[in-house]
Amino acid sequence: MSIYRINQSKDGKTTVERFDSKREAQSKGNAGHLVSSVEDLSENFALTTSMMRDAYNVLNPEKQVTRFSDREAACRRLWSALQALSPSSPEKAAEGAAPERKSKKEKAKKGSKAPKAPKKEKASRGAKKPSRRAVPLYVPKGTENPYRVATQSFKAFELAIANPGKTFAELIELGGRGNTLSQMMRLNILNPKA
């Protein structure tokens, strides 16, 4: 019966060793986790899924995984990879460094992604419409001020009545409130048509 030792050193290097007996494994040192079955893997909670992932990646360098869906899948896949270690091979150990992972900040750094292709210009369908804020605005005649007296909204509405034909930006420069003017435009109290 084969025994496997999975060890992860402080510098992040993971090693996997295969032994023919438990006595042989214990004679070669105590470091690492000894497993002899899938049950040993699943019951040994000191062996984390990230350690299992690193051990799996050492055994299967061409088929790297970033994470397992759950602990059961990690145990099952690692055990099948451990059994693939041939007992007749001269090297009973496989070792490698855990793959380096980039933090979110490193991934977000400029230049870490491939350069994007320049955006294509959209075909225009005619003359570009002016912004609603650049159009002269008017309050329809006979419209009563819907705001409470002595409030800033009331003053902004009176300003719009006193200055017909002014643009949104000009009304703000005269002391109007952007929120109130926008609200009046949404409610069609302040229109671009006279």
Q: Which range, 98-102, 103-107, 140-144, has the best average confidence (pLDDT)?
A: 140-144
Domain ranges of the chain: 3-99, 132-186
Alpha-carbon span 118 to 45, nearest angstrom: 51
Residue partners of 149: CB distance under 8 A and separation at least 6: none
What is the arithmetic mean of pLDDT over 101-115?
A: 58
Dihedral (CA of 160, 163, 166, 171) sign: negative
Q: What is the mean pLDDT of residues 71-82?
A: 88
Give the residue carrying structure tokens 């793959």.
Answer: 99
Report, as an integer, the average pLDDT of 99-108: 58
pLDDT for res 86: 61
- Assign 128 a pLDDT band (cuts: 50, 70, 90): low
Kindly state the tokens that stand for 31.
Answer: 């470091």
Task: Judge whether 3 and 25 are in contact, CB under 8 Å.
Answer: yes
Is a pLDDT exceeding 80 seen at residue 1?
no
Please give the Cα distance from 184 to 194 (Å, whole number).
Answer: 15
- What are residue 96's phi and psi, to 5 degrees? -175, 160
Residue 24 has pLDDT above 50, yes or no: yes
Residue 100 is predicted with a pLDDT of 56
Average pLDDT, the chain: 77
pTM of the model: 0.47
pLDDT recorded at residue 89: 45
Predicted local confidence at residue 190, as pLDDT: 78
Average pLDDT, stretch 123-142? 68
| 35-64 pLDDT per residue, tens | 888 888 888 878 888 888 988 888 888 888
Is 50 exceeded by the pLDDT of residue 88? no
